[in-house]
Chains A and B, each alone.
Chain A
Amino acid sequence: MATIELDSTPRLRRGVRLTYDKTRETHVLLFPEGVLVPNDTAAAVLQLCDGAATVAEITAELGHKYEGVRVADVQAVLTRLAERRVVQWT
């Protein structure tokens, strides 16, 4: 997959769902054959990955809620999630 750019629009891969599990009190990523528990940072990013928002916009949006959000950090999180086959982008 191409490296993630400022204007890339990430979304969850087909078949992957993000949901909140009240039993474990955490966000979970559900796949055909497994479950992943994203850390708080990853969960915050994933909630904004709607296939329309760009990385720049996602970074700006996160900046409203958290201090010191850098675009490089968002790119790093998304790259890691892509390696785990959670997200893809165009």
Chain B
Amino acid sequence: MDVTAQPPLGMLAELTHRCPLHCPYCSNPIELVTRDNEMSTDEWLSVIEQARELGVLQVHMSGGEPLARNDLPVLVGRAADLGCYVNLVTSGLGLTEQRLADLVDRGLAHVQLSVQGADAEMANRIAGVKAHNHKLTAARAVKKLDMPLTVNVVLHRANHHQVADLIALAEDMGADRLELANTQYYGWGLRNRSALMPTARQLAEAEPIVRAATERLRDTMQIVYVVADYYEPYPKPCMYGWGSRQLTVTPNGDVLPCPAASSITTLKLDNVRSRTLADIWYHSEAFNSYRGEDWMPDPCRGCARKGIDFGGCRCQAFLLTGDAGATDPVCSKSPDRGLIDTILAGTPSEPPELVMRKNTIKVV
């Protein structure tokens, strides 16, 4: 394939799949990597060094819960020393002021804190544990240390009516940014799709609330609002193009062009334990399969929007049509759009029970 790939800008480092929460929308795969198979500290340090050498400027320390790894401070320190912008993506559980202060000393640039609901009752129900108060404590620690904070809320049918209160909570927490992003239907989220899919009425009710708050808070708290893409006429610009800007490294060292790419069972994945990150980025089959525009089918090939949405999401195309090279079925021009419309038409009047994410290992 004749595509000139640019160096990656960002790396999502999924340090572990261990997590104290059981969120039913989790985008981690159903088959979680166990602790035995996680990479060692030295292996992660090598990945971080290779990533910076390759051009990565942003490292998102994520998981699972990255604080579940005792070597997190060492990994943060190395990434920061190399000049990367280091972002901690956390549930907040275990984020004490002392631990945070140490991470900040080592160069942590930003904290992204997940919130499951506007009040303890909702939040604890969705998280599957009594997590909410820990998050309030974590947010206070972040602000006490004067760190920039993004509050990250995954919206779905059970909490969508809380948008106004969620915005108020993020303001109370002193967030600089608030992400109100609807569930993406991969992994556990896909399993729970019929329970999580918001109704059209919920979206209609939320829209003016979010719009007014976005305007009111323009100078103090940036609000990023993402509607469920099934309701959109065009697909999301997934990853700003496959193998274009970002890569994901899973706890066992698999390197993914998209965090959900392990769901594409036809894709041959490479692992940093057996191949260098640069070789995988530039030369692997997985990264080159959908890079650029040559792979595109009709209607993408002749579409004026192909430079805007890049054909949408490969994982979603595979999960819904069985072909990762198909146009994202969310697109109104896709021959498979009927699949999406059928799913939306089948949104149950009463949502089924949520299947909570089961963790293979208990995290204290």
User: How far apart are the CA atoms of A30 and B87 in the complex, in Å?
Assistant: 11
- Contact A32-B83, Cβ < 8 Å, known A15-B109, A23-B55, A24-B55: no
Contact of B110 among A15, A85, A88 (CB under 8 A): A15
Report chain B residues within 8 Å CB of A15. Answer: 109-110, 148, 176-177
User: How far apart are the CA atoms of A47 and B109 in the complex, in Å?
Assistant: 18
- Contact A32-B87, Cβ < 8 Å, known A1-B219, A14-B176, A15-B110: yes
User: How far apart are the CA atoms of A57 and B54 in the complex, in Å?
Assistant: 38
Interface residue B7 (Cβ < 8 Å from any Cβ of A)? yes
A45 to chain B: closest CB distance in Å? 21
Q: Are B85 and A30 in contact (CB under 8 A)?
A: yes
Q: Are A30 and B57 in contact (CB under 8 A)?
A: yes
Report chain B residues within 8 Å CB of A17. Answer: 85, 109
Interface string of B68-112 (1 = CB under 8 A from A): 000000000000000101010000000000000000000001101
Interface residue B150 (Cβ < 8 Å from any Cβ of A)? yes
- Contact A32-B150, Cβ < 8 Å, known A15-B110, A15-B176, A19-B83: yes
Q: Are B110 and A32 in contact (CB under 8 A)?
A: yes
Interface residue B58 (Cβ < 8 Å from any Cβ of A)? yes
User: How far apart are the CA atoms of A35 and B85 in the complex, in Å?
Assistant: 10
Decide if the interface of chain A is mainly helix, strand, loop or mixed: loop
Interface residue A21 (Cβ < 8 Å from any Cβ of B)? yes
Interface residue A71 (Cβ < 8 Å from any Cβ of B)? no
Chain A, interface residues (CB within 8 Å), range: 10 to 19
Which of B48-74 touch A at CB < 8 Å?
A: 53-55, 57-58
User: How far apart are the CA atoms of A19 and B107 in the complex, in Å?
Assistant: 14
Q: Are B7 and A14 in contact (CB under 8 A)?
A: no
User: How far apart are the CA atoms of A19 and B112 in the complex, in Å?
Assistant: 21
Report chain A residues within 8 Å CB of B219. Answer: 1, 88
Q: Are A32 and B7 in contact (CB under 8 A)?
A: no
Interface residue B9 (Cβ < 8 Å from any Cβ of A)? yes
Q: Are A30 and B109 in contact (CB under 8 A)?
A: yes
- Contact A23-B109, Cβ < 8 Å, known A1-B219, A15-B148, A17-B85: no
B128 to chain A: closest CB distance in Å? 27
Contact of B58 among A24, A30, A85 (CB under 8 A): A30
Interface residue B10 (Cβ < 8 Å from any Cβ of A)? yes
Q: Report, nearest first, the 6 A-B pairs whose CB atoms are least far apart.
A: A15-B148, A30-B85, A23-B55, A14-B148, A32-B110, A35-B9
> A23-B53, A30-B57 provided; 5 other pairs, C-beta below 8 A?
A14-B148, A15-B176, A30-B58, A30-B85, A33-B177
* 14 A-B pairs with C-beta separation under 8 A: A14-B176, A15-B109, A15-B148, A15-B177, A17-B85, A19-B57, A23-B55, A24-B7, A24-B55, A30-B109, A32-B112, A33-B224, A35-B9, A35-B10
